[in-house]
Amino acid sequence: MKKTFISLALLATLLPAVAAESVKATVNGMVCAFCAQGIEKRLSKLPATKAVFVDLKQKVVAVEAKDGQKLDGKVITAEITDAGYDVVKLETVGKSVADIKAETRGKK
């Protein structure tokens, strides 16, 4: 019992204190895998991007920020718009791209 508590406390100190932060957008106009790939490629190039997730069917585009860095929603909107798609909703969420991916896939 005591041993379990000690190892849990140790684990907590080893985990990074920074919470994941992502920008999640709803994007209209993506019709095929190339659309999704193009957006993913553009957003991956942004300096603060850690990971990108695009779901064609659910019209979801999510970008996770590197630890301690901020993603600019305006820049993300501009990148997606420049590529020829419409951003209909954009929000910052305290989740990782992996979480958003799991959440989106769960809706199918």
Site residues (vs Cu ion, CB under 5 A)? 31-32, 34-35
How far is 54 from 105, CA to CA, in rounded Å?
A: 11
Give min distance, CB of 70 to Cu ion, in A: 30
Rg (CA), the chain: 17
Q: For residues 24 and 62, is the Cβ–Cβ distance under 8 A?
A: yes
5 vs 34 by CB, closer to Cu ion = 34
Give min distance, CB of 78 to Cu ion, in A: 19
Give min distance, CB of 34 to Cu ion, in A: 4
11 vs 32 by CB, closer to Cu ion = 32
Q: For residues 22 and 63, is the Cβ–Cβ distance under 8 A?
A: yes
35 vs 90 by CB, closer to Cu ion = 35
Q: Closest Cα partner for 74 from 25, 17, 3?
A: 25
